Structure 1
Amino acid sequence: MTSTLKAFAPETKIPQKDPYFVPGYSGYIPQQAFRYSKSYGRTTHDILNDEGVRRSKTSVLENLEPASFEPRDSGKISGYTGHVPVSRQYFGKSFVPKVNLSTSVFSQRRQIEQDLRQRHFEAPLKRLERSQTTVLPQLDVARTTSSVPDLGVISGYTGFVPRIQHRFAKSYLNRVDEARHLPKKIIPSDVKLNGHSFRIYKEDGLIPKYTGFVPGKRFEHARTYGNTTRSLAA
């Protein structure tokens, strides 16, 4: 039965890789001028499959396989004055060995950085144990009676110490200690201040043509500059 099917089955011809030219192709097509009454695709298909037409053995279309972009180091040209990474760290060598060494070290450093970005944990992380006590222990903090601790004066201090110039025949620390513990007499001032007055600007007003900031001026209207500044609430 198989032989019978082969006898009556039409002969199949496997088409080539390029059964027709690309639509819109305006280049030369052999034998196209002598073929009529068929479409562009059918005409080019017949021409490409016709064994009597001489044609190139290579494919018409460009090979669509992805091209390999393997980096190739062509080296550096002698006398190159551009930037070479890590080259400033090496001395006493000619240009070519210096460039080769710098390039090798730079490549190793970049490889180390890339390896560090990919973290691989060989062992599982250790679980932290929770403390048995939930309350923190009470800390013994030494507190002074005064809010400002008395730190004394550092030996060798050359700054001003009140009333130390009248102390003699004693060490520096003893004189400072006596001067600091002398009774202090507070003399009242003759200037009397009104505790309820918090006015900043005088009632005389500001200088004419003053272009600075005047608080509350933008809320005053229909008044002159002098009257406005004399009645400031600040």
Structure 2
Amino acid sequence: MFVDLTRPERDDFLSQTTGCLIPGYTGHCPTLKFKIGKRYGANTQEIMRELSDRGVLKRHVADQYRQADPLQAMLTNGQFSVIEHAKGQTRDLKIDSANRCRRYILGYTGYIPGMHFRYGTSFRRAADASVDDFSRRMSQEASRRALETPLRARSRSAPRLVSIRARDQVKTSLDQYCQHNKFQEAHISPEFPPIAGYTGHIPRVKGTEASLSQRYHTAAKRGL
């Protein structure tokens, strides 16, 4: 069972000065990996005592931080100073708020014009390029329509020519002729052969000598 520490107990634990590192410290501990057989606090306490005896800790504390830095010309009182870029050298126009486009919805699967023909790039770059091309085509189409609008208005203002189809007397006469002569009597001679494939009744064809061993045309002619 884990029992959490109270705030006073935690403060006392973190403020201890026993000469060892706090348990759970994940920074660099010199020669710690070579210490075996003792607990963490005893090992770190022994390491810090050895460093103090050798004067390593005193040397690091006495020396000013980055005193012998090769970039001393860029240091101010031993510390780095912020380099001011007065001419906007670090400005990135791609992420500038004035030029930044609206973010796309993550996982958006709707239609983006020309998106299916772009490969080898990220979704946002392909979408931006597709939208830019679509906007450019729309502006070109708007310019073309703006130029054609006066011509279209002028062509519509001209009087329309009347079609002569309604005044075609020849077509009217042909329609009247076809209407009056659509159904008319036609005399068919008995000598005219029957239609090929005719299966209607032909008198005396079946069961008589008229059709016995005769061709269909001859039998039909004799029967009629």
Question: TM-score range with shorter-chain normalisation?
Answer: under 0.3
Larger Cα Rg: Structure 1 or Structure 2?
Answer: 2
Higher helix share: 2
Relative contact order (alpha carbons < 8 A, sep ≥ 6): 1 or 2 greater? 1
TM-score, structure 2 length as denominator? 0.22
Task: Give the TM-score taking structure 1 as reference length.
Answer: 0.22
